[in-house]
Structure formats: structure tokens, C-alpha cells
Structure 1
Amino acid sequence: MNWIEAVILGIVQGITEFLPISSSAHLVIAQDMFGLSVPGLAFEVFLHIGSLLAVMIYFRKDIIRLLSEFFQFIRTRDCRYQASFMFSIYIIIATFLTGVLGIILEKQMGDALKSMTTVSVSLFMTGAFLVLIERVIKYGNRKEGNMNFYDAFWVGLAQTVAIIPGISRSGSTLVAALWCGLEKETAVRFSFLLSIPVTLGSIVLMLPDMSSENFNAGLFELTAAFVASFVFAIIGIKWLIAFLQRSKLIYFAYYCFLASGFVFFFLR
């Protein structure tokens, strides 16, 4: 793999990681279309670290506030910090559910998850749920302080299904949160902040399997992929938040339908 190919995969990972169109599906599609392959586990880790760093930097104020008020509530039991404490607890619950069920699902399905048929069907399902939340289910008005255990449970369960390429992690968590009756801004924040421990957890799970054999790309290629993933993840986050403030998820549904048809008829 040369540095241009590394940048291409980094861009695909970064720009699609937080859009409701499935980054894993687009990595599979990009590899098939351009004849590329992820050169070892280390390369995949670098891609994930780039997008993880992007979301942590973008939401750094929220992270600092949540951590501060989480421990302040434990120390003082002051009701002013209770909403942030519970919001953090819900992130932990959803992350735990995703981690346990995700490992089970991956072991059961294995390589079948990465077939082009699976990608095509999953992209269509992502689009269908985005249409459903925009055309059938009305948005709620519950904010951070009104969340409950069931919100965390359903969002965590929806995020688990996103282990299947084509099922968008951001899309599934947004749909689940909105379906539970959360307002759009709260649903978006919860989805983005939930991605941090989930992505970090996936990186940690990869580390024991890494060895010198996993470094099939050079340091320059790894760095190029990391930078591309980071930069375009920042762009993707900013663009999505601005887009959702003035528009709807339905346009991503149309894209998912088109991508599903393309994969089914040309790449399957």
C-alpha cells in the first residue's frame, strides 16, 4: 500500500464514521472498488484512533463538564450535578450492553458479516429506519435531564447491531434515541459522546492481537491514514451537526438506498 491509498481509506473512514451511512460498509466498498486491502490490524487501529481523537477534541468541553460534574455529584450529592451524573451513567450502560452483545454477535456471525450481500441489505435497512424516524415517528422533546434507563438500553441495543457493515452506528443510535422521545440535540450529543468509549473499547480489544506482523504498512502510510481520518472526521462532525440543525435525516436515507443498490448490482 502506498500513501495515496492510505489517505483514501483514511478519508473514507473519517468522513463516514459519524455520518449515518456506515463507515464500515464504505471501507468494504472502497477496498473492493479500488482493489485495496487494509494492511494489517495496526492500520485499522490508526484509522480508529484518528476518528476517536477528532470526536474527543470536538466535544472536549462536554467531556470535561461531564467528568467534573460526575465526580462532584459523587462527592457532594448536589442535585445541580445529578443530570450530568445520570447522563454519564447512561453512556456507561449503553457501552456495556454494546460491548457484551457485540462480542457475542461477532463470534456467532464472523466473516459472514463482511459479504457484499450483507452490506447491501444492511445499507437498505439503515435507509429504511431513517425514513421511518423522519416520516412516521414524531420527534420527542425530552432533554438530558429527562433521560432514563430505557433510553440507554435501546440506544445500546441499536448500537450493537451496527457491528454489521452497512448498519450505521451513528444512524442506529440517532434513530433509537429519537424513537425513545429524546429531542434531536440531545440525541445527537448522546450518540457522539457514546462513540468515544465504544471506539476506545474496540481499539483496546484489538491491541492483544497486534504484533510485528500487523504492521504491513510503513510509518509514513500509517501517519497519512491517521491524519486523513482525523481531519475528515472533524469535517464530518461539524458538517453533520450543522446539517441536522437545518435539515433532516431523510437525505441520508436516499443515499443509503442508492449505495445499497450500487453494491447489490455492481459489487455483489
Structure 2
Amino acid sequence: MSIIEALIFGIVQGITEFLPISSTAHIVITQLLLGYQFPGFGFEIYLHFASILAVMIYFRKDIMVVIFGFIGYVINRSKDNRTQFLFGIYIIVATLITGVLGLVLEDFIGASMKTPPFIAIALAVTGLFLIIIERFVRYGDRTEEQMTFKDSIFVGLGQTLAVFPGISRSGATLVTALFAGLNRDTAVRYSFLLSIPVILGSSVLAIGDFTDGAMVAEVGIPALVVSFIATFIFSWLGIVWLIDFLKKSKLIYFAIYCFVAAIFVYFFLDNSMIIEL
């Protein structure tokens, strides 16, 4: 892999990982446009680690609050820690639902779902639900203090849809959290913190592709360094920008982008191509 290709993949992964526009779809599109296919899952896992590092550092205070609150409640049943204890439970519940159903559905995701036509349809579906939540559903005002197990189950089921190439994980969790009646700030925080165990878990399951040595030999150390740094930087920028954007603007702009991307993928990419995700 050339340095330019590594830089491009890092930028694409970083920008799209946490925006509701499907990073998987954009990585596939980029591979098709550059005529380069990843050597197994290893490189994709590597890029995900860079994105997760960015979100863990950015939300380090939130993570520590949840962890210490969770432990504190377990130890002394302090009323002050109950909210964070339950919030941690809700993260675990949604993660377990996504993990179990994801493993089940993975066997049913055939090659026909890894082609430009399917990805185009999935992007359009993502855009459709972003429009629905923005135009036809009244935003709730519930915070993490008012969250319930029902919310975590609902969001976990929504997050599971991201196993289909082109369905955005962040988009699915945001939409389902808002459908459930959570306010924007809580939905965004929940979505970001959910990304940590989900992406780390999926990476661990495919760690063999990362450690077999083929990825390093194929991509090359200079390209690995460049892609990691680019992914981390642009993941950080994506997090900052999305949080600021959602305070002032609407999800419908992401919906429009998804529709444009779907049209491009369907009509301008080789529909016979299959990318092994």
C-alpha cells in the first residue's frame, strides 16, 4: 500500500466512523475507487483501533465517571452512584444484544450483501430513517437518569442492523435512542460510549487476521503508521464536529448525503464487484 493510499484510507475511516453515514460503506467505496482490496480483516481492525483510541481519549472523563460509579454502587450501594451503575448496565445490555445477534446474522450475510447495489440500498435506508426521526418524530427529553432496560434493548437491536454493509452503526444507535425518547445529548453520549465495547469486541473476534503477519507484510510499516495517525486525527475531528453540529443543525443533512452517496454507488460503481468485508 502506498503512503497516499494509507492516508486516504485513514482519513475516510476517521471521518466516517462516528458520523451516521456508515464507515463500512465508505471504506468499501474507497477500495473500489482506488482498486485496492484489504488483505483480510487485519487492516480494517487496525483502523478501528485508532478510531476507538480517539473516542476513549475524548470521552475519558465520561468513561471514568461510569466505571467509578458502577464500582461504587456495587461496593456500597450509594444512591449517588445508582445512575452511573444503571448506565453501565445499559451499555452492557445493548452490547450483549448486538454481539449475540451479530454473530447469528453474520452467517446469513452472503456475498450478495457486499456489493455496490446492496450497499447503495442500505445507505438509502439509513438516510430514510434519519429523515423519519428528524421530520416525523418529536424529540424526547429523557436523560440518562430516566433511561430504562427497554431503551437499552431497543438501541441494542437497532445497533445490530449495522452488521449489514451500508447501515451506519452510529446512525442506527442515534435513531433508535431518539425514537425511544432520549434527548439528543443523552442519545449522542450513549451512542459514542456504546461504540467502544462493540468495536473492541468485534476486533477481538477477528484478532487472528491482525496477528498472522500477512497484513503487515502486505500493507507495510510506513503505511500502517500513516494510516493510524490519520485515522486517529480525523476520528477526533469527526467526534468534535458531530457533537457541535448536532447542537445547532439537523440529521436531515446526513440523510441527504446518504441518498447522494447511494445514487453514486449504484450508478457509478461496478455492480459486479464484491468486497470481502
| TM-score, length of structure 2 as denominator length | 0.94
Q: Does 1:23 align with 2:23?
A: yes
For 1:39 and 1:189, the matched residues in 2 are separated by 34
Give the Å deviation of 1:109.
1.4
Match of 1:226 in 2: 228
Gaps of 5+ in 1: none
Q: CA deviation at 1:165?
A: 1.6
Specify every segment of 5 or more residues in structure 2 that has no aligned partner in the other structure, as ranges: 272-277
**Corresponding residue of 1:134:** 134
Partner of 1:252 in structure 2?
Answer: 254
C-alpha distance in structure 1 between counterparts of 2:251 and 2:214, whole Å: 41
Task: Find the aligned partners of 2:83 and 2:51 in 1 and give their Cα distance.
Answer: 27
> Residues of 2 paired with 1:244 and 1:43: CA distance?
31
**How far off its partner does 1:113 sit?**
2.6
| Contact residue 131 and residue 250 of structure 1 kept, 8 A | yes
2:66 and 2:84 in contact (8 A); partners too: yes
CA contact (8 A) 1:134 1:248 kept: yes
Moved over 3 A (4+): none
**Which position in structure 2 is the counterpart of 1:4?**
4
Counterpart residue number, 1:115? 115
Q: Which residue of 2 aligns with 1:83?
A: 83
Distance 1:104 1:214 in 2: 27
Q: How does 1:1-268 map to 2 (within 5 A)?
A: 1-209=1-209, 210-215=211-216, 216-267=218-269, 268=271
1:33, 1:143 → 2: CA distance?
Answer: 42
Q: Is the 8 A contact 1:40 1:217 kept in 2?
A: no
| Percent identity of paired positions between Structure 1 and Structure 2 | 54
Deviates more, 1:215-224 or 1:233-242: 215-224
Paired residue type of 1:85:
F
The letter for the 1-side match of 2:223 is E
How many residues end up aligned between the 2 structures?
Answer: 268
Contact 1:133 1:175 in 2 (8 A): yes
Higher mean C-alpha deviation, range 217-226 or range 195-204: 217-226
- Cα deviation for residue 174 of structure 1 reads 0.2
CA contact 2:109–2:164 (8 Å) conserved in 1: no
